[in-house]
Amino acid sequence: MKKLALCSFLLVISPVLFAEIPPPPLNIVSFQIQDQQWVNSSSAKVYVAINISTNAAGLKDVHEKMMEKLNKLSSLAEWHITSFSRSEDQSGLEKIVARAEVRLPDTALSPLREKAKQLSQPGFALEISNINLSPSEEEMQQAQSELRAKVYQKINTELANLNKEFPDQHYVVHKIDFNLANATPQNRLIAFAAAEKSAANVPAMQFSQRVYAIAQVEFASDSLMRKSHSKLAFSNF
């Protein structure tokens, strides 16, 4: 009878004994780290406007002719046609307006305007509309990756210093929120409207853009968790 009563008592209190105990609150240290880095670029994205007037028979090879002209303008990289539209003018001719772009080294920029004029002919006009000297997407991503690595190093240094000052707290990285921002480049978008800018008087240049990183960091101490687990283990014992 006593054994039955004891078993009944254990069944009643066992849910309380084995219920999940919520973890104690963490001891949090929050701070912010900022850093910046310059992104250097010696290339630029070139935008070309194409205007074509042709009869219906000339439409069959218009794309090939456009690519042929663009490659004569510069064969250093692959051209991309980003827009293409057709309409019919009052004379019945097909009017084509297209846009193309390519990224070229800065040393290849100077003669482009003159070459576009030379390649143009009646019914087929090429024009350098603008040149964007901002760093490429790949260059920006590489700089952001390097900047994050620099911030991680600073976080590790801060963590080591904190644990040195408070060795019993056992601080660890609890949370990192990154905010990466690019500074708006100044005078990066230019139009080659001045014919006097020739290859002879335009030197090679390197253009830069700044990238910022702001990291909101939290360190958490697990000392309370360790003490709680120690007490629980002792009480179970």
Strand partners, 211: 37, 182
CA-based radius of gyration for the chain: 34
Q: Select from 147, 70, 158, 77 the least CA-distant residue to 115.
A: 70
The confidence score (pLDDT) of residue 21 equals 54
| 84-91 contact pairs (CB < 8 A, 24+) | 89/53
In the chain, what are the domains? 24-40+136-236 (no CATH), 44-132 (3.30.70.360)
Q: Select from 38, 15, 35 the least CA-distant residue to 208.
A: 38
For all residues of the chain together, what is the average pLDDT? 80
Which residues of the chain fall below pLDDT 70?
1-26, 183-206, 223-237
The confidence score (pLDDT) of residue 23 equals 55
Q: Select from 67, 213, 77 the least CA-distant residue to 136.
A: 77
Q: Select from 229, 227, 205 the least CA-distant residue to 105.
A: 205
- Dist. CA 23–CA 11, nearest whole Å: 25
> DSSP states of 170-182 as a string?
-EEEEEEEEEEEE
The confidence score (pLDDT) of residue 236 equals 44
